[in-house]
Amino acid sequence: MSSAFAEIEAVLRDYFDGLYFSDTVRLARVFHPQAQYVSASDGSLLYRTMGEYFPIVAARPSPASRSEPRRDSIVSIEFAGPATATARVNCAIGDKFFTDCLSLIRLEGRWQIISKVFHHDIIAS
């Protein structure tokens, strides 16, 4: 396994942990400060900066606090070059199942998520 692949896997583990524990400090380590958060799952554009997104995460009860089972996985990681990659991942929070398309860049000696474009479905209970 390449070093870059392992580094991205580590970033994605921190990403999943940040979401599961609603830990914005951890999320701030994996997202570039200028990253974009985008979805059209509900039929209209949802766009947030990290400054808008992190307070929402911090204010919500974490899946861990509700004893939700972990349902996160890495579907794929692909490289476009030595400093550019994409990852497709899945996770669930509450009654929503997410497919996240993450664009990553390597800057300042580390991989960072620069874009999160996602879709979610409601999980049938």
Every domain of the chain and the residues it spans? 3-122
Strand order across the 73-81 sheet: 46-49, 31-39, 110-122, 96-107, 84-93, 73-81
Cα 118 from Cα 25, distance rounded (Å):
21
pTM of the model: 0.94
pLDDT tens, position by position, 69-120: 999 999 999 999 999 999 999 999 999 999 999 999 999 999 999 999 999 9
3-122: which CATH number, 3.40.309.10, 3.40.50.720, 1.10.10.10, 3.10.450.50?
3.10.450.50
